[in-house]
Amino acid sequence: MSLEDKLYPFLSFYDRLPQGARNTIGSMYRLMPRRIRYGKAYKEFRCLAEESPEWSTAEIDEYQIRELRRTLINAASYCPYYQRTFAKAGFDPSLLSSTDELVNCPMLNKEDIQKNLNGLTSSNISDSQKLYITTGGSTGVPVGFHLQKGISRPKEQAFMEANWRRIGYFDKARLALIRGQVTDSRSSGKIISYDATRNWLLLSSSHLTDERIPEYLNELEKFNPDFLYVYPSSALQLAEFLERHNQTWRVPIQGMFCGSEQLTTSQKRTLESVFQCHVIRWYGHSERAVLAAEGACSDLYYFWPHYGFVEFGDQNEDGLCEVIATTFDNLAMPLVRYKTGDYVRLAKIDTHREFLWPAVEEISGREQEFLITSSGRRISLTTFNMHDAIFDDLYAVQFFQSEPGIAEFRYIPSSSFHSSRLDNIKSGIMRKLGDDFQLTMREVEEVEKTPRGKHTWLVTQL
């Protein structure tokens, strides 16, 4: 197991230390070799990510069949849920000889995970090797699952760095992040924190008002980052401020990494023009099943065939297809043909491609949505994609807002949910919202859905 995974349980304690103590401890940690911090799996995945773009179609197919069989056989051997569903469908993973045969394997959706967590978890991996996290994704349907310690997080690190290297990322690069960090719950509180373990500057994505954006610009100029790692909505707020006030970006950077929210091609061009750098968009999710990012020379997203197996559902009336994902490497809780709820527009067949990989033109369904506080701050809904157990035993959650600074949190409880947890849930949400917000809690039998029947995080009348 990596040192990072071993220390993960102490992260909340570390975060509560004074900044000076965190700087000292974090700087010492950062001096340790990456093989110790991230574990030996990191080196293996880094080599895979660096070498595999040169693979032929035959090499990719051989790798995917081998990894699919490993995932499926593990699922059939040690996960009771898959034992039942595979038997019912008459599917034998040991006979899989082509990716085309995967259509005979049953699919998995978010509700299946909510109701069958134990049955989807491998009995062959000890509890000490499992890392439990949750996600609400883009839909407001909370899902909890297990990652595999020593594997899932170093793998993600290695492949994300490979995405970033397409626009010049290098080890020990200085990153400034505006990605939902809660630097201070007070509307007038501090806007920055410093992560000494990585030499990253963390900036709040919830204090980007006209009055305070000059503070952001000053802090960024002092830190002098090599790259920005941002929610698209945060970068667009900075860009809009600069354009509106006839100001130019004062900090030369090599690139910007945008993910977790939708960023249109025209918005990407705006960011490239304002920040005078290469912008790369990426797509992934907390479940760590598939990963995609733009190439260096086009606006297409390419799905890594070595990270997980991706399928695309039938086109809907808008020409979009659902992303269906099967995990590689996570033997603690394999996800097989998982319907992610995210939709994409496939790249045209005759489009020139940088890689021999599945490619899409657009990632849809991860909108730039905000709650508005009484002081005018915008809180991105992506911020509420909690990774702890706060939303466990809730089938769906949703915010409703009709006036600034006031919102209703609607939730559908499962039979095992107890109302005594409501205070904890409310306090967790309020840490993100801040002191210029009022929140009421309301149990409902159904949350509002889009015209096509999809759950959504936010219903707003503003």
Local mean pLDDT, 10-residue blocks, the chain (462 residues): 81 86 91 88 96 96 97 98 98 95 96 96 96 80 92 96 97 95 88 94 94 97 98 95 96 96 93 97 94 94 98 94 97 97 91 93 80 92 80 91 95 92 94 94 89 78 87
pLDDT of residue 68: 97
- Report yes or no: 210 and 242 within 8 Å, Cβ to Cβ: no
Give the Cα separation of 117 and 140 in Å (integer). Answer: 18
What is the spatial distance between Cα 456 and Cα 140, in angstroms, rounded to a whole number? 6
> What gap in Å lies between CA 215 and CA 56, rounded to an integer?
49
Two tokens, residue 336: 């097989």
Residue 385: what pLDDT?
Answer: 77
As a whole number of angstroms, the distance between CA 44 and CA 335 comes to: 22
Please give the Cα distance from 196 to 201 (Å, whole number). Answer: 9
Which domains are present in the chain?
370-460 (3.30.300)
- Residue 188 · residue 74 · CB < 8 Å: no
For residues 281 and 263, is the Cβ–Cβ distance under 8 A? yes
Tell me the whole-structure pTM to 2 decimals.
0.91
Residue 426: what pLDDT?
Answer: 95
Phi/psi for 119 (5° steps) reads -70, -20
CB 344 within 8 A of CB 284: no
Q: What is the DSSP letter of 163?
A: H
**Secondary structure letter of residue 456 according to DSSP:** -
With both helix axes pointing from N to C terminus, report the angle between 213-223 and 232-244 in degrees, rounded to the nearest 10. Answer: 110
